[in-house]
Chain A
């Protein structure tokens, strides 16, 4: 997928004026947040588990090479194959080669963000294969020729009406308008694809070194049909997803569903180990895992190591006011929201995603709900610092910062200007807010600016002390 993160501002404006998108986002907003809060409240050990999850991930990352080697050996012992891909291109080539070798015509796919990251679908289609996304949300956006707008609810930006239109166009009528009928129609269409598939591709929520297994977590069962009925099962996963034992995977499973969809557990947790055994009646004949680095090992060395703890639950975007206002597409690449604003510049380059670290109010809600305690606001602030150091920050902003620094390091001047500013803003305000302000149209075009009280904090404080 081509990166369009530098169009964030235009896309955000577009998103705010998109009535369907705002309707869809409005429906999603409360649901995830409320359900997660309820699940967290019902599990007294929740905070303890978050702390353990953070520490366990740190332990894994500190010994990542060892656990990857142990994992590889265990997959091989179970009859599977591990492939290593340094970047997106290598990953695509590995998967294409497997598909070509088995003369694949139809490829079904369970939900995999890594496959989005490496641009897999386009590559398979280019080589003449039919690629079918089987997660309902992914299927909807595939029909719409759009990327996912959320890492666990890829079609969260679509309204029911839009889904009805897409299904009618793709499947022929009669047009279905109710959710049960729409779901049933997709069920019937996709059933045939599962049984015809040559290759089934899924992601991997966890890779277990102890057993050589990959684990996926789904509600629909599409990932299971995808990986069971195809002749070949290919798992795409990032190198950071390895865990030492099944017991370690459990720690994260207890947090994942609760943080993601606000469920105690998803419907299906599937542990896949190798291909079908000699006397098995079904299951894939081949089992491959593609371990994708794509910038991850580099992150391990610096201040962004914390980001590699991410288990892709989506809680950060569910709780982000910016994501809630503009949706996922504005972010312009695969990963949206707070986690995407950290990952995108790191994977695709700081200058290719200038706006993302800046599209954050540093309110900290994301960090407060992250199940592995990633300090997302700190990482975003660090990216802003790097942008400044590398001269990526726009010239006007750099000049403004210089002026601000000059003023801020001269307290008398600062207070004087502050008094002028506070009185000026208070004077032009009507009913406590400012509708228009020269040089600040970026703010006032889309919302009112609350007016200050007319006196500065310092003046009020000194007044209070004087009273004593």
Chain B
């Protein structure tokens, strides 16, 4: 037996011996695999979009709401101009159906000097007011963390109430779990110097959500 297999068996045996039993039988294992927990979900009595906006903005995130997907490029441009950012962006290929006139865009991963990224969220979670991003060829992970400004497109209909409903969205994906599921609740922050909250620690300094619908 290899050293690695030895360590594995030794640890599992040590666990079982501490629990004063041998390996579980197939019946018990099947029971455990069939277990579907129903933990308490904090009560909510607020409309989902309103709650998402209230919660997301409570942590220094910003939001805008547009009527349709065709309005997204204008909303992105308005944000860019307001913040005085250069006319370029890394845009997730999930948004390649949209034209961004006046903006120099690419669909590649974000480089070290990337200033702005525009991404499509898989879902919003109203409970804490957070975005759920699923990585993939149309949604690189670096877009979520490298640029100073992150603009995220979120369909109003994709906002769910609790985390558990967001997991159902992930489970329903034909391609299964992505490499990275990023739940983002606002701009990057730190309190590591004298407990003083400072935005823009390592990730984006600003996160702006454009809610569609």
A219 at the interface (CB under 8 A from B): yes
Looking across the interface, which residue of chain A has its beta carbon closest to that of B167? A246
Tally A-B pairs: CB < 8 A. 252
Cβ-defined partner of A267 (8 Å) among B28, B179, B185, B194:
B185
Collect the chain A residues with CB atoms within 8 Å of residue B192's CB. Answer: 135-137, 140, 153-155, 220
A65-B24, A265-B185, A270-B180 known; A229+B15 contact, CB < 8 A: no
Q: Across the interface, do B145 and A153 meet the contact criterion of CB distance under 8 Å?
A: no
| Contacting residues of chain A (193-227) with chain B, CB-CB under 8 angstroms | 195, 211-213, 219-222, 224-225
Collect the chain B residues with CB atoms within 8 Å of residue A4's CB. Answer: none
| Contacting residues of chain A (32-88) with chain B, CB-CB under 8 angstroms | 43-45, 48-49, 52, 56, 62-70, 78, 83-86
A281 at the interface (CB under 8 A from B): yes
Cβ-defined partner of A24 (8 Å) among B43, B145, B194:
B194
Total B residues in contact with A, Cβ cutoff 8 Å: 76
A225→B189 CA distance, assembly (Å): 14
Collect the chain A residues with CB atoms within 8 Å of residue B181's CB. Answer: 213, 270-273
| Contacting residues of chain A (134-165) with chain B, CB-CB under 8 angstroms | 134-137, 140, 153-156, 158-160, 163
A126 at the interface (CB under 8 A from B): no
A69→B186 CA distance, assembly (Å): 36
A90-B7, A183-B198, A187-B201 known; A264+B128 contact, CB < 8 A: yes
Q: Across the interface, do A293 and B14 meet the contact criterion of CB distance under 8 Å?
A: yes
Q: Hey, what's the 0/1 contact readout for A248-281 against B, CB within 8 Å counting as 1?
A: 1011011000000100111111111111110111
A129 at the interface (CB under 8 A from B): no
Q: Across the interface, do A283 and B32 meet the contact criterion of CB distance under 8 Å?
A: no
Give me the interface of B with A, judged by CB distance under 8 Å.
4, 7-8, 10-12, 14-20, 23-24, 28-29, 32-33, 35-37, 39-40, 42-43, 55, 59, 107-109, 112, 128, 130, 135-137, 140-142, 144-146, 162-164, 167, 170, 175-196, 198, 200-204
Give me the interface of A with B, judged by CB distance under 8 Å.
24, 27-28, 31, 43-45, 48-49, 52, 56, 62-70, 78, 83-86, 90, 134-137, 140, 153-156, 158-160, 163, 179-180, 182-184, 186-187, 190-192, 195, 211-213, 219-222, 224-225, 228-229, 239, 244-248, 250-251, 253-254, 261, 264-277, 279-283, 291, 293, 297-302
**What 6 A-B pairs are tightest by C-beta distance, nearest first?**
A221-B203, A301-B18, A220-B201, A137-B192, A300-B18, A297-B14
A-B contact pairs, 27 of them (CB 8 A): A27-B195, A66-B29, A78-B177, A90-B7, A153-B195, A155-B192, A155-B193, A160-B193, A182-B193, A219-B201, A220-B192, A221-B203, A222-B203, A224-B141, A245-B35, A245-B37, A246-B163, A246-B167, A247-B167, A254-B42, A261-B191, A268-B184, A271-B181, A272-B181, A279-B136, A281-B137, A283-B141
